[in-house]
Amino acid sequence: MLLFAGDIYIINITVTTMDVMKIFCLLDAAGKSSLSMDLVKRIEAVTRKEGHSLEVLDLYEGDLAYCTGCLRCWSSESTECVTKDRLPEIEMRLSGCGLLLFLVPVRFGTFSSTIKIAVDKGLGNKLHEEKPGKRYPRLFIGFGEDTSDEETRCFTDIIEKHMGKADIVHPELSEMPADVMVTRSLVDNEEICSRIVRMYLRGEK
């Protein structure tokens, strides 16, 4: 059943033969395209077929305040951000998530400012706290029909380094790596969905 709740789309699947994985997809609302929406529909289809649940959130510019770099969320006992925005609400929806997807347009070889704010503010890091000692998957999917090979390499490199490979300020992020994929066509969308099923939903190598 597909339920609509504002800018939230929730796919509910009843399964009796396996544990249901909660998949959460954060989508840059301003960067939507026919390519990205096709990918969302395909992910919904494979998620339903594999017997799991998917929630898609449209993230709009202004939903999250810019990170001030105060490091309070890392240096104090409280992990709550000092700025007041939709972050607590989104993190509440993320609770128990088994796979976190960031679906973002590739712009000049990097990700959009809307998604970057979410990453800068550590969106999803509390999932790591829920499962100490266990890595949970997070996947960045960049999209853009005109994305060049150079932009694809740059996008992948920036995401990997931003998520820990070159992070000196937040070395803890090295324990929470991210996978990166890029789609430039409907054929790429189909391949990405196949990889999601194999790598995350079925746990195949």
Q: How confident is the model at residue 145 (pLDDT cuts 50, 70, 90)?
A: very high
Q: What is the pLDDT of residue 4?
A: 36
Q: What is the pLDDT of residue 104?
A: 92
First-to-last C-alpha distance (Å) of the chain:
31
Indicate whether this model's pTM tops 0.85: no
Q: What is the pLDDT of residue 42?
A: 95
Q: What is the share, in percent, of the chain residues with pLDDT greater than 70?
A: 74
Q: Which of 1-15, 27-41, 141-155, 158-172 has the lowest mean pLDDT?
A: 1-15
Q: Minimal CA–CA distance to 173: which of 183, 193, 184, 159?
A: 159
Supply the DSSP string of 121-179, one letter for each residue: TTTTHHHHHHSTT----EEEEEE-TT--HHHHHHHHHHHHIIIIIT-SS-GGGGGS--E
> Which residue did the predictor score with more confidence, 54 or 69?
54
Q: What is the pLDDT of residue 5?
A: 38
For residue range 92-142, list pLDDT tens digits in order. 888 788 889 999 999 889 888 888 888 888 776 665 555 554 556 889 999
The label of the residue with tokens 């190598």 reads: 205
The label of the residue with tokens 């347009």 reads: 105
Task: Output the CATH code of domain 2-13+20-201.
Answer: 3.40.50.360
pLDDT of residue 204 exceeding 60: yes
Q: What is the pLDDT of residue 17?
A: 36
Q: Minimal CA–CA distance to 127: which of 176, 78, 81?
A: 176
